[in-house]
Each structure stands twice: as C-alpha cells, then as structure tokens.
Structure 1
Amino acid sequence: MRASNRSAVAVLVAVTLASLTLLPLTSDTSYIPLALVVTFAIALVGAVVRRLGLGNGVVLGVQSAVLVVFVLGIALSLGGAESNLLGQIGGLYSSAAEHMRTQAAPMPPHPGVKLLLVTAVGVVAVLTDVLVEGIERPAWAIAPPLTLYLVPALGLAEDLSWWPFVLLAVGYAVVLLNEGLTAADRWPRAVGSPDHPQSDQGTHLGYAARAAAMVTVPVLVASVLLGAALPLPGQPGWGVGAGRGADGPLQMTDPTLDLKRNLTQPEDYTVLTYQSDAPSGSYLRMASLPVFNEAGWQSSGISLQPGSTLPPPPGLTTDPARERTTTIQVGDFRSEYLPLPYAPRSFEAPGEWAHDDVSLMVLGTGDNRGEATRNLTYTVRSVDIEPDGARLSAAEAGMPVDANLTAALPPDLPPEIIDLTLEVTGDADTPALKAAAIQAFLRSSEFTYSTDQAQGTTYEQLADFLVRDRRGYCEQFAGAMAVMARVVGIPSRVAVGFLPGSRTGAGWEVGVRDMHAWPELYFEGEGWVRFEPTPSLVTGNAPPWTIEGTDPGGTSTDEGADPSSEPVPSESVPTVDTPSPTPSESSSAPAAEGSTIPWGRLGAGVGIFAGVLALMAVPALVRLRRRRVRLDLSGEMHDRVERAWAELRDTSVDLGRPWPEGSPRTIGQTVASGLEPGPARALTAVAQLVERSRYARSLDSHANVTGLAREVLDGMTRHLTWDSKLLALVWPRSLFTGPAPRLPERFRVWERFRVWERLPGRHR
C-alpha cells in the first residue's frame, strides 16, 4: 500500500475512534455513521489529490469544500424553520447550543446537536490529515482528536469512564504505526549485511509496532497513575485517596438542568410516592445552590461525611414544630440527590450515601451515582421548620457558617436590580418583613408564570425578569427573590426539589412536573426558612410564616394545599410606614463575592494536561537517554567511535539537516563545511577515527572521542534559534527516520528502544 493511502487509513481510524468519545454526551448515536462517512470522504479526497501530485494547499481546500458540502447536505436533510439554507444552518447550531445548555447528559436526540457533532468530527479529520500528511508531524496528530475527548472529560461532572481515553490512545498508536512503516519504506531494500539481512514488510511492521508501543504504553501507564492521584469527575480513584468515597470533595451535577427538562415534559407522570405520619404533605428538597455570580445560581464544592445520621438544622435554636417519619418510593427517576423533607435528621436507604453537614444534602457515592435514586425505597426521619410568625418578624438576619457564599453580594450586580429591591422593601422595617415584601411583589399580578423562558439566572436574565418582561418559571422566581434578599442583607440560597404533590388514599403522589425551585433565607435563631415567591396557581398558598398579617399561631396546613387554591387576601406588600433604608443599611451583607474552586474539573484538567505533556515528552526523553548512552566514556574504542558517529548523524537529522552518503571522510568534509573552524576540525577527527575503526586492522588511539563529539554537537546547535532547538528536542526525527548502530552487550537493554536498528542500510 502506498504511504499516502496508508496515512489516509490511519487518519480515518484515529478520527473515527475519537468520535466515539462523544458518546457520553448524547443518547443519539445516529451521528456516528454520518461522522464515519464524512471522515472517510475527507481521508479519501486527501489521498487522491496527493496522488495527483497537487500541493498541500490544494488538498486542504478540497477537503474543506467536501466538509462544507457534507454539512450543507445534512442540514437540508434535517430541515428547519428558516427559509434559506444559511439561516437554517445557523438556526440548527443555535438550537444545539441551547439544547446542550439546558439538557443533562446523555442528552436526548436533537437535530442541531447531531449537525454540530458531525461538523466537529469533520473539522478534526481535516486538521489531523494536515498534521499527518500535510506538514508531516504525526506526533502532533494527538491534538485534534484530543479536543473531542476533552468535551465530555471536562464538560461532564460524572460517568466519564476509562474507555474513551483508550479509544483515543489506540487511534494515536495507529498513526504512529503508520509513521513507522513509512519511515521503514524510505530505507533501501537491497542493502543488507551478513548480520542484518534484507528485511521484509513483516519485519518493518514489527519494528513499527514497537515504535508505536514505545510512545503509547508509557502514556497509558502515566494516565493510570494520574487517575490515581487526580480522578476524573465522577470516577473513583485507583485505590489511592478518597476518590468518590464518603469523605472528601465531590463534584456535583447541576440540578437546574433536570428542573427545566422535567417542567416541560409533554406528559406528567408520577416519579415518586410517599407516606407520612404528618397530616400534610411536604416539600422534598434535593439540592442547594449557595453561590451566585454573573453566571447565575450554582452549587459549591462540599465535603461529604459518612453515616446516615445528620446534624441538627444549622442556626435553629428553638424547638422544631414537629417530628415526622416519611417513607418514600421512587420510580423511574434518576438522580444522585436523595429527595428529603427539610430538615432531615436520619435516613435508611440501600446503597452508598453521604451527607453535607452545612446544607443537609444527601448524595449517592456509589459507582453509578447518577442513577442512585432509581426504583429506590427509603425512610426519612425529619423535623419541620415552621417559625412562629411574630418571632420571625422580629428576628435579625443571621450569619450562617457559609456566609462567605450565602451572604455574598456580587459587586457587579446590575444597579436596576438593587434599585428595584430597595423600592419594594422601602416600607418594611425588619429583615423578615422585607423578605415578605419581596415575596408578595413576585407573587403579584405583575408577574406571569411561563416555562417558555430560557433556563438560567444570569444577571441579564434576572434583570429582564424583574424589570422588563416579568415572565419566568420557578427558577427565575426563586433566584430573583434570593438575590433581592441579599441586597437587603439577608443570607440566601436556592433549593431544588419537589412540591408536595397530590394527596392519594395512602399518601402523596409527586409528578415529574412537580419539580420545583424555591429560596431559603437565613434568620437568627430560626436557621434556614423556606419562602415561596412562585405564583399561587402553581404552588398553592405561600407558607403562613412568610405572609404579613397571618395568625402567628396558625399551623402550616399550606404544605399540602391544593395547587388550585386561592392565595390568602393578606398576601400583599406591607404598608408599614418606614423610612427607606440608607445605603449602609442595605449593604450589610459581606461585600466579597463567594467563590468556590471546582476541584473535580480542575483536577481533571490538570490530569489531562499532564497526560498530554507526558505524551509529548516521551520521544524527547528517549532521545536524551540515547545520547547519554552513546557519549558514555566506557566500552572499547571501536564502540565509542561508532556511538559518537551515530550521535552526530542523528543530531544532524533532528536539526533537519541532510546527512550525506559516502565514506566517513567524505561525510565529515561535507558536514564540516557548514561549521565553524573548531567544530569542523573536531568532526574531521571523528570521521578519521570512524574510518580507522572500520577498515584498519587495529585502532590504536587514545583520542577523547566523547569530547570531540560534544564539541561538534555544540557547533551544530550554537547559532540555532530557541524554537528550532525546542522542535528538535520535542520531535527528534532520528527516532523514526534513522538507523541506530549496534551497541556493546552492556548497552543492549536499550536496544528495545532502537526501533530501526536492524533495518537495511544501517551502516551508512
């Protein structure tokens, strides 16, 4: 097979395997045959155009045109709302970005995502072909496929297995194997020696396989070691460190992704049922989002603790309203978060679980924690947080242990949000009354509940929701109230979970559309208190302790209220005449914005970056080791002379300079003509020693061969630029394109790295 054809096959295999690393992102595998076709077309076109003798620029242009035509054809077949083709493609890409932003992995099928994935694979195929054949840098061919691998490796928070990296490594090994065979083909087949007869293609294949293994095996070993120290998100360590165990940092998925998807399900269906010894239903809380910045409400790094007994509710100094026992049966609902009434005290659930002492979240820590709740039955013992209205009205805004996150007000928060908050709360004189005013404002007729809005709580989205269109769903209502609470100095966070659901004969049924978000505000002595700013037709009445004018002694019958019940008349903005707060009063929250370091993804990024560096460093390390062995002062004079000569030849090849044919004396004279006088004389002396070593009966010399060789090497590299030296170090061409001489027995252990040592023509 011609070298160009073989390279095309290597590119096809490498890119096809790399395209499979995207499978964790989507449940739609129909992109794979399309990606295979476009990769095959690009590789075939490259091989054909090169066989016609056209330049690399023409090859790149034709391949790019093939990719564009293919993308246009797919876009036509997928259809779209736009009338023109370019608008249709833009619409597909735009909808793909929104789909990927709002859907949890593996994403459901989407035409725009399919087009985007196929386009990405096609671009990677073109770039890989350019590196392998266009500029003849096959060692760099790992970079384009690596970008495909990095998308799920860094974008997913869990369930990234080991097999995508193996596919990537196998594809790279195929590229190196092809380069080895190509290098072997460059050497004359008719040249041989009694000790090293003419080699056949099978021998070349064996040496090429050793070359590929020389690079890929150390990288795979390094990856395993890196995986032990820096496990990827969602993956356990290899027996070292905490990994995903119950004691240590854990990277969590974003619960708001499931929130929007479940609220917009075309058909509501039951995801869980529960029975309780309390007379009313309960909000089932799953996750807590304490961090707020320009990207919206987010989770933070947490430290999980083992055991099924949780600490008392943070900040609660009074006796809880009641204790209850709840038995929950989950159906086909998959999550790493365990739905629990707030505040849980203990639970009994099969599987591996751990809890966070600050947020009282319980998360799965097993191998398949993304499906930890599926078909699960468990029991929870909890206490209800139902503050006395009068006591809450007089309570101060407290300072929780995570106030650096939950009380931080971003300094770049849009001023229109701040101004609106101060206007809404201007007549309220205590933190709780300010919170009640914010809730009443959001539940008023000025706002419209709609799931047509995009998922998210960024600055721009919240400003649009509060000041302009005033349309959104529970995520925007909860996020807006939590932000406004921080403006007036009340620590806040957003909780995600389920509404109480509908009462049945034996208990309560919770549907997929009952997934919900609500704010939790922190008050001195009361701890974290639930508020409900989402309109009443969706959630029923707000909790009585959050409504000014409600009887303080009233009970929390609202938890199980029928969603169709009407709001209580007292739900209105407080009218107490209170002076507007001064800027100092409204900025009592810490000014520093809370921030957390995503250790899981950071560790994954560092691990992958270190793996790439290790991959790039292998050829350089092998080459440096070879140089040290060759310039060793030990051994017989014959061996030292041959080793020094081989090192001079390989260094010349590494620097991109031709090593002429002919006798050692002729080679020495030719190469010395390009050196300064000192290195030129040293090279001539080495060439003479090589001739005497090979053709004289004896070599009676005490010359410092190593010193002479080092002087020549210094002369070869003295005037090179730093980038030329770096290229020669990172990509030593002699490892793949030049033969290495046979060493004495004491050095034979390194012969396994001299891939081309036995090829014909090794004695030049």
Structure 2
Amino acid sequence: MTGHARISIAAWGATALGSLVLTPVFSGPFLFISAFLCALITGVGVGLQNLRIPRIVVPIVQLLVLVELLSLFFLHGTMKFGLIPWRATAIEFNARMVDAMDSINRFSAPLPPDPHLTLFAVSVICATGFLIHVIAVQLRQAAWSGLLLLIMYTVPAATVHGGLPWLLFIPPAIGYIVLLSSEGRSRLSRWGRRISGVSHLDAAEPVEASALGQAGRRIGLTVVAIAALLPALLPALPEGVIGNGLAGGSDGTGIGASISSTDPMLDMGRNLKRGDNVVALTYKGGPTGGTYLRLTALDLFDGNTWRIAPRGEEQKLNGTLTPPPGFNGDLSKVPVTSMEINVTRDLRSQLVPVPYPLQSISLKKDWQFDSGALDVMSSNGGIIAGKKYKLTAYDLEPTPDQLHDSITTGAPDRYTMIVPDKTPDSIKRLAYNLTESAKSNKFEAAVLLQNWFRSGGQFTYSTENVKGSGMSAIEDFLLNSKKGYCEQFATGMALMARILGIPARVGIGFLPGTSDKDGLYTVRMHDMHAWPELYFQGVGWVRFEPTPSARVATTPGWTVAANEPSNTPSTAPTSGPTTPGDKATGPIDKPRHDPNLPDQTGITTAGGGNWFTRGGGQAIAIGLGVLLLLCVPWLIRTLTRRRRFLRPPGRAGAEGLWAEIRDTSRDLGLDWSEISTPRQSGQWLASKLPEEVHPAARRLARGIEALRYAGDEYGEIDLRADAADVRKALWTQAPTRRRWRARLLPPSWRWYLSRGTNEASDLLDEFDLLLARLRSLVLPKRPTTGSHRG
C-alpha cells in the first residue's frame, strides 16, 4: 500500500472515530451516512493520487463530490435534471442549516432525528473529514488535524448538559494516534527500516525511550497546550450567538424550547426574548381561575448567578410526596385539587411543570423529587416532552393575618438566607429605607417591597434587559435603569428580602395561561415566568409577585397587608366580576399582552423576506470570514517581504534579502537547497535567470558570502537593488499558474510551519531522552545475558 493511501485511510478512520463524540447530541443514522460518504470521498482522493493528478486538483474534485453526494442524499428534489446542484439546492441547504442551528439553540440534547438535523450532522462530519484529508494527505501535516478533532469534541462539550463521560474522549484520541502513526511510518519508510524509540543517549550507555510513551507524551502535551491556549485566544461568545448568527431575524420555526436543570434561568430568558410562542402544555382541573406551574426553585445566589443549590439524595416518586416544608398545620384539612397535564413535544424540559405544593403525581419510573423544593425532575437526563400525567396539589391559601403573625426564627436551609459579601451598601440601604414603616414585621416588609416594584418604584417591564441577574445587573436595575423583565424583578426582590432577614428563593415556571369555554387551559412558551418565594414559619414558602401589571395583572390574594382592607386589590384583575365566595383579588394572575414580546397568539407566521434576509446575508459574512482567514498566509508573506526590503544596509538587512530570494524561489516551485553555500546558490540562481540578471545574482551571492566569511569589512554593503532585480526576474520567468499559487498560498508558509513542527518534535525528543536518563538512574540496570564477574 502506498504512503498516501495509508494516510488517507487513517484520516478516514480518525474522522469516523472522532464523530462518535457527537452521539450524545444527535440521534438517528447520521454516523453510518457520514462514514459512508467520507469513505467515498477518501476513495476519490486515493484514486486521483494514483493517477498522478496534480495535488491542487485533488481537494477541488473531492469537494465537488462531497457537494454532489450531500445533494443526492438530502436535497435530491432541488437538483437540476436530478443530478446537478443548482440555486434552489443552495437555498434549501441554507434553510435547513438555519432550522438546524435554531433547533440546537432551543432544544436540549439529544436532538430528535429530524432530516434537517441529520443533514447538519452529516455535513459537519464530512466537512471535517475533508479538511483532515487535505491537511494530512495534501499538506502532509497530520499533527495539525488534531485541532479539527478537538473542535468536533467541543460541540457536545458545549451543548450537552452535565458534561460528557471521559470515555468519549478515547475514540478520537485513538484515531489521532493511528493517523500520526501512519504518517510517521510513511515518512520513515523513505529512509529504510523503521526505528522505534530514541535508542541511545551516548555510545557508551544505551538508553531506550518507548515509542508508545513518546506518542503518548506528544499527544498529551498537545492536548494540554490546546486546552490552555484555545480559551484564551478565542473571544467569549454571547449566549446563543451561533444559532442567532445563522438564523438572523427569522420569524421562527415553531420548534419549541429547551429547559435544563443546569441553568433554567438562562433558558427562560432565551425563550422569552427569542423563542416562538408555541404551546408548551395544556391542563384541566386545579383551582378556579388557573394556577402557576412551577419547574423548580433557585435557592443559591453567589453574587453572580442564581441556580439550584446542591441537594441531598433525590427521592423516587411513589405515592404521596413529603409535606410542604415549613407548614405546621393539619394537612388533612387543606383542600386538594386534581389536575391532568398534557405536555407538548415542543417543551423539552428535564424539569416537570407542577403546582406548588405538590401532593402526588402519576409519573413514576425515571422521575424523582426533592423534599425541600417539591420539584420533580428526570433521574436519567430524559425530558418531559410529549408526556401526560395526573397530579394532586394542596390548595394552600394563607391569610394576611396568618402571615403577619408568623415569626421566622431561622432559615429552613443553609442557602436561602445568604447575602453575598459583595452586595453593595446602596442596595442594603434601599431595602431598609423602603420597609422602615413595616416596623420589623417581615410580612409587612415583603408587601412593601412588592408594591414598590409594581407601582411605587416607577419600573418598566421590558425584555430588552440583557444583563441578567448578577449583582451588577441587580444594582443597575434597582438604582438606575429600573427596566427589566420578570428575572430582574424576582431576583431583585429575593435579594432585598434576604437583606431584611427573610429567607427567599426564586421560582421558575409558567403563568396560568388562558382557558377556553370547556375549562381547558393553554400555556405557551411566552408564559414562562419567574417570581420570588419567601419563607414564613408555620406557613412555608409563599409566592409573591413583584412584576408590574404590564406582565402580570394581579398579586396573590394573601399578599394584601393586614392593615389594609382585604377586598382592595393591588391592581385591577383581568377576569370578570367575581362570583359569590371568590376572593376580590382573584387567585389568577393572567398575563396581559406584552408589546416587547413577539406575537402572543402562538401562531407562527410565515417568514418574510428573501434568501439574503433569511440567513443568506449571514452565510455570506461567514464565507467572507473564511476567505479572509485563507488570505492570512498571503498577508503575512507580503508584510514580511516589505519589512525585509525596508531594512537599512547591513548584515541583518542582507540576510533578510537573501531569505526573501529563498522564499520567492520556494513560492514559485523552485528547488532551493538549504545546504548549498552562497556561491553555489548564486550559480544555481544564474541558471534560472535571464542573462542580463546574472551580474545582479552574482553580486548578491558574493555579498552574502563576504558578510558571512569576511567579518565586518563589508558590514555596510547595500544589496537591495540586486535583490529586487533577482526577485523580479524570478517572478517574471515563472508560469502564470505558479505565480497565482505563490500569491494565494505561498509554499514558503508551509515550509515555516513544517520547520516549526520539526523543532517542536526535536524539543520533545530531548524531553524523551531526559526521561529515559532519569529512569536509567532511578531503576536498577538489568544484567546482560551471559555476564560474569571477572
């Protein structure tokens, strides 16, 4: 087997093994399709090289074959005459890529085996395999292909919640080792029998360094270097930038939303700001007027993010859940409501939407609950999409008098009373000043905070606040901008409640939704909401509502202060006249239309605009960025040449001009010898140049020779004119094809890259020898066969 065929097959194997890391992200037959298409592309490359086709033609033909295969497999209906990819093929491909990136941005892994997602996965793997083949076979730099395998590994590392198992790193590492071994064997076979390992330190004392150990150290050091340097070199990307970058301002595809247990606050903000308002779930039953459906409670705030605190062992669902934390009344006398919830396939959540406090739920296998938060989540990373379940919940309705008389002696846990050390004094002073009239009554203070957020503080509801819920964002929200959405209102009130000594956490879930005449409630993605939950001894966790009426019309009935008339609502309810027995404030907090959110009807409108506005413009920008990246060798080569000719006369300037003639020769495909003397190189140059340029070539060569061997006597010699004449003659004599190659991809760039790789390899060889010497000093020497004492 020829060397290039061996490396090509190894490149295909490295791609196939590397693609295994995408199995936690995608599903369906994408692995088999990708492996098959990559095998065909590899076969085309091997066949063309066996036919002695020019090297630059091989990747072009492979790329055309790749486009043809992807079109035949996935876009056959858009091809002209059923065989030729056409404009419609490009437009359809772009549309599917936009849909795929939107799905990745919204859904949690694993993604469904939809056609556009399969096309995306196959395209990524095949493009990676094509680039690995170009780098390893055409450019003969197999070591650099490891960057592509590492980039492929970062896709699941960045999208799979909870991290990846370390075993997934083994397949791409094995593929990388096989590729390096194949290239090394091909290189060494040109010189004769392969030698494994560094065989000696000196002639008197042979010491062997294991070849496998050398490979392991090289790969390990490479991975560590990349892991250390890559985050520093790449700028931090804002959340969702990849999906938005391709999708642009699309009206949406109606494919739903993803909510994880890792960062539900972030997922909520993403769904409210950019998500489609599709149906998340429907339900029947529950309290009159609907109910909040909670996903979880965020009880840990470190000054930067609100998240779920470390929990103890989760409990399996089996019958009735534990009683509500902090409630010391008789649960047998508390009314219980029943509900049936049907979750659509658009809500891909590891957390289950349930009312609080939950009594029982029909979910059993693969689901568990936390006794402190009474939230239900998956025990194996599964999602609730498409499931239907029944539940019962306690209809706790504390009275203002009960809450007013409640005495909180301490926190119910070790997280919900923590006020971060970096909390600004300005926020603390604001909390105390606003609640001064409460006279140390915790409930009265909480109501004053709620009313200040909803009316007295002159806040504006808007989803344009993108700063999040960290300490700096809360400070700006409370004291300066006073503009935000439910995340800022909930976290701001929760922090201020903790400052006042009230245990507080943030609930994440859904507003009650809207009902039809048959009592079926429909909850949409834009009904996602956040609210503070405050703890009162004897009652437990109680929901408050600081978000203004632009989003939530009314406050809970129990949050009317004890010294106010109980029939005075804080804001006008959105429901009709109350029937006898109903509370004046109404138990439902229905959302009004939010002008800052997309269409609230939930009907996905057809995307307007043309190909350019629906992602084509971004695709062109990406293409221009790639083109700019490809121009880097030309740019560096041009700047280097200009710098060399601008140097003043002298030894450094002359050596730079000599290096420029060497690099120009290599760029134009001439065989410059690194071991020749300046006089020999000058004679060789003269043989490649017209006769009228021979004197300039001889003066240039003899000038370099004099500088190197005659000391400082010729230190001020000026060779710029002779170097310019020689370079111009070399360039003029070269064929047009070589001149264009020298402009676009100068081979001297690859030579410097190869030289840097070899020098790095030499350093690693020295490292191997050092380890071998240390081992020979520490470990006892084994006696040689047949040795005897004299």
The alignment partner of 2:551 has SS state of helix
Alignment deviations for residues 103-149 of structure 1 (CA, whole Å, 9 cap, x no partner):
85579999xx99xx99x979x9799979x966x9x6x9868734642
Judged with a 3 Å threshold, the aligned counterparts in structure 2 of structure 1 residues 556 and 253 are, in CA distance, closer, same or farther, namely: farther
User: 2:588 — aligned with what?
Assistant: 560
Which piece of structure 1 moves more, 394-403 or 477-486?
394-403
Judged with a 3 Å threshold, the aligned counterparts in structure 2 of structure 1 residues 173 and 513 are, in CA distance, closer, same or farther, namely: same
| Alignment check: 8 A CA contact 1:540 1:558 kept | no
Structure 2 residue 448 is matched with structure 1 residue 437: yes
Alignment deviations for residues 353-405 of structure 1 (CA, whole Å, 9 cap, x no partner):
11111111111224xx442x2222211121123222022123233534422x1
Deviation at 1:154, TM superposition (A): 6.6
Distance in structure 2 (CA, Å) of the matches to 1:398 and 1:340: 29
The alignment partner of 2:377 has SS state of strand
Judged with a 3 Å threshold, the aligned counterparts in structure 2 of structure 1 residues 313 and 421 are, in CA distance, closer, same or farther, namely: same
- Residue 294 (structure 2) aligned to one of 282, 285, 309: 285
Deviation at 1:183, TM superposition (A): 6.6
User: 1:348 — aligned with what?
Assistant: 362
Judged with a 3 Å threshold, the aligned counterparts in structure 2 of structure 1 residues 2 and 414 are, in CA distance, closer, same or farther, namely: farther
| Alignment check: 8 A CA contact 1:103 1:258 kept | no
Judged with a 3 Å threshold, the aligned counterparts in structure 2 of structure 1 residues 551 and 291 are, in CA distance, closer, same or farther, namely: same
User: 1:414 — aligned with what?
Assistant: 424
Structure 2 residue 165 is matched with structure 1 residue 157: no
User: 2:410 — aligned with what?
Assistant: 399
User: 2:463 — aligned with what?
Assistant: 451
User: 1:252 — aligned with what?
Assistant: 261
1:462 maps to a residue whose letter is I
The alignment partner of 1:516 has SS state of strand
Distance in structure 2 (CA, Å) of the matches to 1:458 and 1:103: 25
The alignment partner of 1:301 has SS state of coil
Deviation at 1:557, TM superposition (A): 5.6
User: 1:510 — aligned with what?
Assistant: 523
2:430 maps to a residue whose letter is L
2:304 maps to a residue whose letter is A
RMSD over equivalenced CA pairs, Å: 5.5
Structure 2 residue 500 is matched with structure 1 residue 496: no
User: 1:336 — aligned with what?
Assistant: 350
The alignment partner of 1:252 has SS state of coil
Alignment deviations for residues 427-460 of structure 1 (CA, whole Å, 9 cap, x no partner):
2221111111111111126111112222621122
- Residue 188 (structure 1) aligned to one of 174, 188, 192: 192
Superposed, 1:638-657 pairs within 5 Å as none
2:270 maps to a residue whose letter is R
The alignment partner of 2:351 has SS state of coil
- Residue 539 (structure 2) aligned to one of 507, 510, 526: 526
Superposed, 1:557-596 pairs within 5 Å as 558-564=586-592
User: 1:466 — aligned with what?
Assistant: 478
1:260 maps to a residue whose letter is G
1:290 maps to a residue whose letter is D
Judged with a 3 Å threshold, the aligned counterparts in structure 2 of structure 1 residues 395 and 125 are, in CA distance, closer, same or farther, namely: farther
Deviation at 1:215, TM superposition (A): 8.3
Deviation at 1:343, TM superposition (A): 0.4
Distance in structure 2 (CA, Å) of the matches to 1:163 and 1:451: 41
2:474 maps to a residue whose letter is L
Judged with a 3 Å threshold, the aligned counterparts in structure 2 of structure 1 residues 286 and 550 are, in CA distance, closer, same or farther, namely: farther
2:405 maps to a residue whose letter is A
Distance in structure 1 (CA, Å) of the matches to 2:449 and 2:416: 18
- How many residues align? The count is 471
Judged with a 3 Å threshold, the aligned counterparts in structure 2 of structure 1 residues 526 and 730 are, in CA distance, closer, same or farther, namely: farther
Distance in structure 1 (CA, Å) of the matches to 2:771 and 2:472: 47
- Residue 392 (structure 2) aligned to one of 381, 385, 389: 381
1:268 maps to a residue whose letter is N
Superposed, 1:2-401 pairs within 5 Å as 10=10, 14=14, 18=18, 21=21, 145-146=149-150, 148-150=152-154, 152-153=156-157, 156-158=160-162, 165=169, 167-179=171-183, 181-182=185-186, 185=189, 188=192, 252-264=261-273, 268-276=277-285, 278-302=287-311, 303-308=313-318, 309-319=320-330, 321-332=334-345, 333-349=347-363, 351-366=365-380, 369-371=381-383, 373-401=384-412
The alignment partner of 1:287 has SS state of strand
| Alignment check: 8 A CA contact 1:443 1:533 kept | yes
Judged with a 3 Å threshold, the aligned counterparts in structure 2 of structure 1 residues 277 and 447 are, in CA distance, closer, same or farther, namely: closer
Distance in structure 1 (CA, Å) of the matches to 2:276 and 2:153: 35
| Alignment check: 8 A CA contact 2:288 2:587 kept | no
Deviation at 1:489, TM superposition (A): 1.3
| Alignment check: 8 A CA contact 2:505 2:532 kept | yes
Alignment deviations for residues 274-300 of structure 1 (CA, whole Å, 9 cap, x no partner):
222532311111111111123221112
Distance in structure 2 (CA, Å) of the matches to 1:301 and 1:556: 40
| Alignment check: 8 A CA contact 2:557 2:587 kept | no
Alignment deviations for residues 688-729 of structure 1 (CA, whole Å, 9 cap, x no partner):
xxxxxxxxxxxxxxxxxxxxxxxxxxxxxxxxxx99785348
| Alignment check: 8 A CA contact 2:461 2:548 kept | yes
Distance in structure 2 (CA, Å) of the matches to 1:417 and 1:512: 32
Distance in structure 2 (CA, Å) of the matches to 1:103 and 1:475: 21
Judged with a 3 Å threshold, the aligned counterparts in structure 2 of structure 1 residues 270 and 551 are, in CA distance, closer, same or farther, namely: farther
Distance in structure 1 (CA, Å) of the matches to 2:417 and 2:370: 19
Distance in structure 2 (CA, Å) of the matches to 1:159 and 1:556: 49
1:315 maps to a residue whose letter is G
Judged with a 3 Å threshold, the aligned counterparts in structure 2 of structure 1 residues 141 and 190 are, in CA distance, closer, same or farther, namely: closer
Judged with a 3 Å threshold, the aligned counterparts in structure 2 of structure 1 residues 723 and 277 are, in CA distance, closer, same or farther, namely: closer
User: 2:601 — aligned with what?
Assistant: none
The alignment partner of 1:528 has SS state of strand
| Alignment check: 8 A CA contact 2:109 2:159 kept | no
| Alignment check: 8 A CA contact 1:282 1:341 kept | yes
Distance in structure 1 (CA, Å) of the matches to 2:328 and 2:355: 19
| Alignment check: 8 A CA contact 1:543 1:556 kept | no
Deviation at 1:315, TM superposition (A): 0.8
Distance in structure 2 (CA, Å) of the matches to 1:159 and 1:547: 45
| Alignment check: 8 A CA contact 1:326 1:380 kept | yes
Alignment deviations for residues 563-621 of structure 1 (CA, whole Å, 9 cap, x no partner):
459xxxxxxxxxxxxxxxxxxxxxxxxxxxxxxxxxxxxxxxxxxxxxxxxxxxxxxxx
Superposed, 1:594-633 pairs within 5 Å as none
Distance in structure 2 (CA, Å) of the matches to 1:416 and 1:561: 32
Deviation at 1:482, TM superposition (A): 0.9
Distance in structure 1 (CA, Å) of the matches to 2:173 and 2:212: 14
The alignment partner of 2:306 has SS state of strand
User: 2:571 — aligned with what?
Assistant: none
| Alignment check: 8 A CA contact 2:509 2:530 kept | yes
The alignment partner of 2:472 has SS state of helix
1:339 maps to a residue whose letter is P
Deviation at 1:462, TM superposition (A): 1.5
Distance in structure 1 (CA, Å) of the matches to 2:500 and 2:102: 33
Identity, in percent, stands at 34
| Alignment check: 8 A CA contact 1:26 1:107 kept | yes
Judged with a 3 Å threshold, the aligned counterparts in structure 2 of structure 1 residues 173 and 349 are, in CA distance, closer, same or farther, namely: same
Deviation at 1:172, TM superposition (A): 1.9
| Alignment check: 8 A CA contact 1:283 1:559 kept | no
1:417 maps to a residue whose letter is I
Deviation at 1:188, TM superposition (A): 3.2
